[in-house]
Structure 1
C-alpha cells in the first residue's frame, strides 16, 4: 500500500519534471503560436467543432505560419497561399513524413501500405512497385470497361426508380454501391451486390463503418506515446481496435482464399489481386501482409 501511495505521489512529479526539461532545453525555433500548458500544450484550446474559425482567429493574431503544441506533437498551421507554396514546393522533403497513428498502424499491418507508411526507403520502393504494376496508364485503361459498365448500371438503376414513380433516390447509397462494385471487380473480379439483403453487402458496409470508427477514435498514445498506450489499454480503445483488425483481417483472408479457389477456372482479365500475388511470389520481402495492407488502402 505504501508503495502505491509513493508511486501516486512521485509519478506526476516525474512527468512534470520531464516535461519542464523538454520545453526548457529545446531550442525555440518554432513559429509563433498561442501559449499552452505543461504536458498538454494547446490541446485544451483546440476547437474541434469550428476548427476553420479557430485557425482564422489564430492567423489574425500570429500570422500565416503558426505552431501548436498538441501533447508531445508539434503542429504547424499554414494559413496563406504563399506560406503553403514555400512549404510544399521548396521544403517538401521536410514535410513528407506521416505520423505513426495508433488508429491506422494496426489496420495497415504496421504501416506496410502506401498511404500511411512513413516517408523512407521502404515507402519509396513500395511507391515504385505500386506505380509500375498497379497505377500505370496502361493498367488504368485496362479497367475502363469495368468502370463504364458499372456507371451504366448505376444510371439504369436511377432511371428505373424514376420510372417506377420514386421521388427520392438515396445518392449516398447509390454512389457507395458504385464505388464498391468498381473496386471489388477491379481487385477480385467479382460483382458486388448492392442488395441490402446480401450478406456481402452487409459485411462490406459494416467493415467500412468499423474502419471509419477506428480512424475517428481518439487514441491518447498519438499525443502521449508512453502514458497514452497505458491509458488506451485501460479505456478499452486499444482492445477495440485489435478486435476490428482481427475481423477485417479474417474477412480479407476469406476473400483472398475464395479468389485463389476460383481464379484457376476464371477467364477474366488480370485483376489487382493477381498482380499482388505474383509480386509476392517474385519478391522475397513481399509477404501476404503487404498484399492485405495494399488492399486495405
Structure 2
C-alpha cells in the first residue's frame, strides 16, 4: 500500500514537472501578456504551497500581504491565484470590477453530477441564462415586498426580542431564521423550528447534505491545483460529491413532484393552500417556458446553499 502511494506521488511530481517546464518554455517564447500583482517567488512545480504552511492560514496570508501588499499573486502548483486581503481592496474588486471577478474558476467538486451546469452560482455573468435567473430571484424572492410578507422574518425578530438580556447564539438563530424564511417563501413550510431543531427527517437530511457539500467546496483538492490531473480524481472528491448531489436533487425533485401533484388535484378550484409561494411561481414560469425543468431544483439549491454558506462563514458549523 505504501509502495503504491509512493509511486503515485512520484508520478504526480514527474507529470507536474513536465507540465511546468512546458508552460515555462511557452511563456518564454510567446509571453502571456498578463499583468499580475506582486507575490512571493514561486518554486518549480510546487509554486507557493510551502509559503502557506502553518496552523492558521489567515495569519499566514496576513503575513504575506504585509510583505507583498493587499493584492498579491500566489502560485498554487500550476494554478495562479490572486488574493485580496483588505476591506478597501475587496470593496474595489467586488464593486468596480465585479464583472471580472464573477467569472470565477469552477471547483472540480462543482462539476460532479453536472451541478455547475444547473447552478447560477457558477454561470458567467455574461450568460443570458444567468441574467434571467438573477432577475427571477430579485423580483420574486429577494425584493423588499416579498421578504416583508414572509412570517419567518417577523418570527425571528420576535424570538430575538423575547431573549433580550439573555445569551443567544446569533449565528444559529440567524441560520434558523434564514432557512425558515427561504423555506416558507419557497414551500410554505418551516424546515427549522426555533433555530435549534428540525421539523422533519427529510428537512434535516436535506440540511445536512447541503452543509456537507458547502463545506467540501472549501477543502483542498489536487484536481483544482493541478487541472491536468482532474480526470484522475485522485482524492475521490468528485465521486463523493456525485452521491451527495444525487440525494439532494432527489429530495428537491420529490418536493417539486408533490407540489405538481397537489396542484393537479386541486384543479381549477383555486384552492391553493400554499398562497402562491415561490415554488408555485417557479412552476408557473416553467409552464410558460421561461425556465426549464432543470432550472427549478437548481434555483432551490442555490438559495438554500447560500443560507448554509452564510451560516458557515459566521462560525455556525461546530462539527469539529
TM-score, normalised with respect to structure 2: 0.72
Listed as ranges, the gaps of 5+ residues in structure 2 are: 1-8, 303-320
Q: By how many angstroms is 1:252 displaced? A: 0.7
The 8 Å contact of residues 48 and 75 in structure 2, kept in 1 or not, is answered as yes
Coordinate RMSD, CA, aligned: 3.5
| Cα distance between partner residues in 1 of 2:88 and 2:43 | 31
The alignment status of 1:116 with 2:122, answered yes or no, reads yes
Structure 2 vs 1, CA of residues 174 and 79 (structure 1 numbering), >3 Å: closer, same or farther? closer
Which position in structure 2 is the counterpart of 1:190?
189
| Cα distance between partner residues in 2 of 1:86 and 1:150 | 33
For residue 82 of structure 2, give the secondary structure of its aligned residue in structure 1: strand
The alignment status of 1:104 with 2:106, answered yes or no, reads no
Which position in structure 2 is the counterpart of 1:254?
254
Which position in structure 2 is the counterpart of 1:290?
295
Which position in structure 2 is the counterpart of 1:17?
18
TM-score, normalised with respect to structure 1: 0.77
The alignment status of 1:139 with 2:139, answered yes or no, reads no
For residue 218 of structure 1, give the secondary structure of its aligned residue in structure 2: coil
Which position in structure 2 is the counterpart of 1:32?
38
The 8 Å contact of residues 67 and 75 in structure 1, kept in 2 or not, is answered as yes
The 8 Å contact of residues 193 and 200 in structure 1, kept in 2 or not, is answered as no
Structure 2 vs 1, CA of residues 157 and 188 (structure 1 numbering), >3 Å: closer, same or farther? farther
| Cα distance between partner residues in 2 of 1:217 and 1:65 | 23
Deviation sequence 1:24-66 (CA, Å, 0-9, x none): 4333732221122223311232147423322232233223332
Structure 2 vs 1, CA of residues 34 and 150 (structure 1 numbering), >3 Å: closer, same or farther? closer
Which position in structure 1 is the counterpart of 2:212?
210
Structure 2 vs 1, CA of residues 109 and 236 (structure 1 numbering), >3 Å: closer, same or farther? closer
Moved more, 114-123 or 188-197: 188-197
Structure 2 vs 1, CA of residues 71 and 83 (structure 1 numbering), >3 Å: closer, same or farther? same
Listed as ranges, the gaps of 5+ residues in structure 1 are: 1-7
Structure 2 vs 1, CA of residues 14 and 95 (structure 1 numbering), >3 Å: closer, same or farther? same
The 8 Å contact of residues 219 and 228 in structure 1, kept in 2 or not, is answered as no
The 8 Å contact of residues 117 and 123 in structure 2, kept in 1 or not, is answered as yes
| Cα distance between partner residues in 1 of 2:126 and 2:86 | 29
